[in-house]
Structure 1
């Protein structure tokens, strides 16, 4: 394989490496049309793929006229793909790639009567293809797996990434480590392909049937493997056996989890029952398809439906997957205390579990019911109603939070600045709106920060429902209490910043020293404990600790989602990419981050 001819460092890490384009001497793009040769017959079913591991993927691509078979009705899934065939595939897949070069290539081994001559010429001018240093193209040579994966990782086009990169997958900051965690033969990857292979791995493009544990970089790519790479590149991850996709070994092997994961990434509807023992596959009403699902709450799952005309409406399934409330709402929230917020014509109200509109859609905005009260907005101000829809606290606040432990946080702006306080269920201001920041009450305490005008400093800590300080001296607003502890930061010994979990008396239960020793690095983004577990991060990696501060889920995930019923939803392989999100009033850029690549799945938490 030729070495790169571009100078090192020419392209920033967050962008597609042009050096890879010129190094691998193959078409760098991703496509949807396979082997569009003159003798290929389109639109046929294939007699040799029904029992093949790649059959579902091949059938889906064929159904969209994205690939062709042979005149004898076969697909020949195990036959290798040549570089010429791949050149045609790339051109048909990316007709919008603009020409880069005006000169004509002169490949000494490519005659003008070769069936793909014109396509190879065009691919060269578009910068998709280059030849080898000896001026050969090797059109009839099989394309290797690493070459094909490098192609896909370099020129995949994702619409949601257009703001900061036109094409290509994000390159992980530690490509060798990513590959080593994905495949067992990572050391066989040639130097020129390390970054491209890591990007492909992070996006779950590597398919190795049957167990997904090897890259096999120098092996010839078969037609079935190319189809599998394409399905993965289109996020059709359920069409290839999950076990054959490198990276899925980092998720739980629970059969139900695999079913839910497969259904979700196929765009189908499925969820677990409460005990995580059974997968529910709901059946939408005739003429509708499910586009989005909420979470199971009070035996109801909100669902966004779309009919054949493109009309979208929200309705609900019951916990068994049967339609409980027909799709008729512009938006729908989860049920809480027997009622759910819905909208009709930009007005919000509440329905009961049968779908009856018990509180008419008449509000500008609403919040879920908590403690028998729901916050509603009328003419820009917030108040509260009871379950019958009767106004119990007149709209008068700039903003509010739901009632928690008998108190609701309110926001006031008497002098243009936001101040927070708390009211009880009778609207009595039990704690005056004097705090710069405040969180809702949890386990009898609320995190607050008070600005001291005389010094310009902050006084932060926790107060009780009477407004008395219980814990003082935290740096900034602390987390919510759960399982008897809350995540805080505090100065110790005058200037040393400690972070960890404090009890209700302000004493450390999990110290920063113990966390650093356990994690091997400085923890950040300390999460709230849920059922005895909390997420946190070290650098860009997330893991989970137990109530004793022991690391029970390794620091290898890019994000941790909900934790419930003994399982955690996790994101593996993601790359955090920074980009300019806009400019402030002084024309200075501000930066945003986006999580690219990777895949969501489930892991089982320790018993």
Structure 2
């Protein structure tokens, strides 16, 4: 969600992983080629890009690999798995964050600390909450107040804020009482607290909230866009993708640019972020794609669709899924029950309830028995 002034320090990675408890590793993984999750008789494992199974399906639940690690579930516990298929059992944690700048936040019972990529507890578990490291600092809370620590766990900025968020380009959202502003790395407010909620800066602007609506300010605190936009259902945070952010007003979707103006007026029933120069939009119940100027690049004629990835986008036509190119021509005909975007040269599709991985040419490199 947006960083509310009274809960600014709640980290997306460190605080919001219910059920992701498990045992941690003791050695760093060997990062090789990408691995892809596969399924066999209800169990999950992993293959390489050639379709060779490198970790046999044996886990009842598994995540994709991220930064060299995947989480797998053993009974009611989550354990980290490296790319060699090794489970590293050292200490039981209730929650595990993703690595950021070489450290990951971990929760033991109720309090938080940090481990390095060898699984060593390098910052003791003693904080009430913990955020990812960003620009060498991490926001943590202790005794109801938030401050910032360095990679050695030392307080660089004392816990004097009612809440705090991540530094981006030298500024971080922080709250003094009920309102939030932005502090510099010396802890002073560079932008005075004046907003109900704030997000970290993305490029030249940051999202700020007043009265439940969001707008934009620049790095000097000047308002680029008055708070006027609503939050779309299911999207409690605003993110810029390729210089544009989804905007929602009066049950219609449009786009706001990082320059601070409505680049594309709200007119669409549904919309998704820009990806590879095109954004998915719904018009009269059908899906198509627009360019950054708001012009229709691909006419709305699909029942469902997804973002472009690696030059192709999965779309549904007559109940079946295939892949199109940016010029709207079919790269792979609609022949699948389900289809995911391409990633690292492969896409996962379903045929008669069974998974397959295919190349952009449609060659099957692996199929579920």
Q: Quick one: structure 1 residues 329 and 440, their matched pair in 2 at CA, closer, same or farther if it must change by over 3 Å?
A: same
Shift of residue 406 of structure 1? 0.8
Per-residue CA deviations over 1:94-152 (Å, capped at 9, x if unaligned) read: xxxxxxxxxxxxxxxxxxxxxxxxxxxxxxxxxxxxxxxxxxxxxxxxxxxxxxxxxxx
Q: TM (normalized to structure 1)?
A: 0.41
- 2: distance between equivalents of 1:263 and 1:435? 37
**Residue in 2 that maps onto 1:269:** 79
Partner residue in 1 for 2:104 = 301
The C-alpha deviation readout for 1:25-70, integer Å capped at 9, x for no partner, is: xxxxxxxxxxxxxxxxxxxxxxxxxxxxxxxxxxxxxxxxxxxxxx
1:556 CA drift (Å): 4.7
Partner Cα distance (2:164, 2:345) in 1: 32
The equivalent of 1:441 in structure 2 is 240
- Residues 327 and 483 from structure 1, CA distance in 2 versus in 1: closer, same or farther, beyond 3 angstroms? same
What residue in structure 1 maps to residue 141 of structure 2? 343
Does structure 1 retain, via aligned residues, the 8 Å contact 2:45–2:56? no
1:177-232 deviations in Å (ceiling 9; x for gaps): xxxxxxxxxxxxxxxxxxxxxxxxxxxxxxxxxxxxxxxxxxxxxxxxxxxxxxxx
Aligned to 1:187: none
The residue that corresponds to 2:221 in the other structure is 427
Residues 310 and 343 in structure 2, CA contact (< 8 A), matched pair in contact too: yes
Report the CA distance between 1:246 and its aligned residue.
Answer: 1.4
Separation in 2, partners of 1:388, 1:279: 44
- Cα distance in 2, alignment partners of residues 243 and 463 from structure 1: 39
Q: Secondary structure at the match of 2:274?
A: coil
Structure-to-structure mapping, 1:302-451, within 5 angstroms = 302-305=105-108, 311-413=109-211, 418-437=212-231, 439-450=238-249
Distance (whole Å) between structure 1 residues aligned to residue 45 and residue 181 of structure 2:
47
Q: Is the 8 A contact 2:54 2:85 kept in 1?
A: no
Give the Cα separation in 2 of the matches to 1:304 and 1:341.
15
CA contact (8 A) 1:368 1:402 kept: yes
Equivalent residues of 1:348, 1:361 under 8 A apart: yes
In 2: Cα distance, 1:568 partner to 1:360 partner? 48
Distance in 1, matches of 2:320 and 2:96, equals 26
Mapping of 1:513-532 within 5 angstroms?
A: 513=301, 516=302, 522-523=303-304, 526=306
CA distance in 2, matches of 1:553, 1:313: 50
Question: Does residue 260 of structure 2 align to residue 485 of structure 1?
Answer: no
Q: Which has the larger helix fraction? A: 1
Conserved 8 A contact 1:449-1:477: no
Question: Please, which runs of 5 or more residues in structure 2 have no aligned partner?
Answer: 1-18, 20-36, 63-69, 233-237, 361-369
> For 2:267, which of 474, 484, 488 is the aligned residue?
474
Which structure has the larger Rg over C-alpha atoms?
A: 1
Question: Secondary structure, in 3 states, of the residue corresponding to 1:270?
Answer: strand
Question: Is 1:538–1:555's contact at 8 Å kept on the other side of the alignment?
Answer: no
Higher relative contact order (CA 8 A, sep 6+): 2
Cα deviation for residue 428 of structure 1 reads: 0.3
Query: 1:212-231 counterparts in 2 under 5 A?
Result: none
- CA distance in structure 1 between the partners assigned to 2:123 and 2:94 by the alignment: 16
1:501 aligns with 2:289: yes
**2:54 counterpart residue number:** 255
Q: Give 1:450 shift.
A: 4.8
SS in 1 for 2:207: strand
3-state DSSP of counterpart to 2:72: helix
How far apart in 1 are the matches of 2:116 and 2:189?
30
Using the alignment, how far apart are the partners of 1:361 and 1:544 within structure 2?
Answer: 53
Q: How far apart, CA to CA, are the structure 2 residues paired with 1:356 and 1:245? A: 47
Partner in structure 2 of residue 461 of structure 1: 254
* Partner Cα distance (1:295, 1:543) in 2: 33
Contact 2:241 2:273 in 1 (8 A): yes
- SS at the partner of 1:487? strand
Q: Tell me the CA shift for residue 411 of structure 1.
A: 1.6
Are residues 508 and 349 of structure 1, via their aligned partners in 2, closer, same or farther at CA, if it must alter by over 3 Å? same
* CA deviation string 1:543-572 (max 9, x = no partner): 896765767995458xx8x9976789999x
Q: Deviations over 1:239-285 (max 9, x none)?
A: xxx9996133797464258588496211253144xxxx55575554x
CA shift in 2, pair 1:399/1:251, >3 Å = same
Instruction: Tell me, yes or no, if the aligned pair for 1:407 and 1:441 is still in contact at 8 Å.
Output: no
* Count, aligned residues: 298
Aligned equivalents of 2:53, 2:309: Cα separation in 1: 21
| Contact persistence 1:283–1:323 (CA under 8 A) | no
Q: C-alpha distance in 2, partners of 1:428/1:391? A: 14
How far did 1:532 drift? Answer: 5.8
Q: CA deviation at 1:466?
A: 4.3
Cα deviation for residue 405 of structure 1 reads 2.1
Q: Which secondary structure does the structure 2 equivalent of 1:479 belong to?
A: strand
- TM-score normalised per structure 2: 0.63
Aligned residues of 1:411 and 1:419 also touching (Cα < 8 A): yes
Taking a change above 3 Å as real, the CA distance of residues 347 and 391 of structure 1, as seen in their structure-2 partners, is same
